[in-house]
Amino acid sequence: MFSHPYGWIAAGGFLISLLTITVCASRVIIIAHAKRIGSNDDAEVRIRALFGLIKFKYQIPTAKLEGLAIKVQEEISTQHAAGRGTWKEYNDEINPEKVVSSIEKMKQVLQLTRDLTGWLRKTMTKVELTKWNWSTSIGTGDAMWTAMATGVVWSVQSSVLGVLSQFLQLKAEPVMTVNPLFNRSAFATEWSCIAQIRFGYAILAGLQLLHRMKKSKGGVKAWQNILSKA
């Protein structure tokens, strides 16, 4: 078979097809973790793709309230197959003006792109949630108010999971706890989750979004102009 040129072509085509199927069937894994203890915040998102050959990390180690603004320090790092990566650090400020501006830019993006929310809902249905842990401890120093606050926090945690479960595929039993601290005033919460989507679905969703962007008024350039000012 391999003595004939067509045999090598067929073998090459088979290997390329097998590699393509393997890559498309691989999973993009998203690991998120956040916690708040007192006034200290820590949040991190890690993304792995192509069997760990591609890694991405986004971290917000500090967030301090200063007047009406929030000072944040962001860390972003990426790593590829060769083991080399890039790391960037940003210092920024989130204030009411920036929040309002970001909301307006998002409205423009939604108006610009046909059925962007439909694309988002369809993409989210391909995402599998394989871990969901959320634990909160709260105390106000007063037994009655602590009991009320515990109920409110539990409702919030349950509502967030309930909304997400309408869009994502819940593949694991969620773990949620709310611990009342009746003898002191304190607040601490820690949340972690693992979500995954097949690489092929992620690529297809990206191509569909790019197609919608090109079909929108002003095309991709209009998107870039809006997001660059956000």
Tell me the domain boundaries of the chain. 5-228
What is the predicted pLDDT for the residue at 34?
87
Give ∠ CA 41-42-45 in degrees, rounded to 5. Answer: 145
Q: Is 56 exposed, middle or buried (0-12, 13-18, 19+ CB in 10 A)?
A: middle
What is the predicted pLDDT for the residue at 192?
92
What is the predicted pLDDT for the residue at 69?
44
Give ∠ CA 205-126-190 in degrees, rounded to 5. Answer: 110
What is the predicted pLDDT for the residue at 183?
83
pTM for the whole structure: 0.72
Closest CA to 56 of 221, 227, 202, 210: 202
Beta-bridge partner residues of 186: 139
What is the predicted pLDDT for the residue at 196?
93
What is the predicted pLDDT for the residue at 59?
75
What is the predicted pLDDT for the residue at 102?
62
Residue ranges in the chain modelled with pLDDT below 50: 65-70
What is the predicted pLDDT for the residue at 208?
84
Asked if 58 and 76 count as a contact pair (C-beta separation under 8 A), the reply is yes
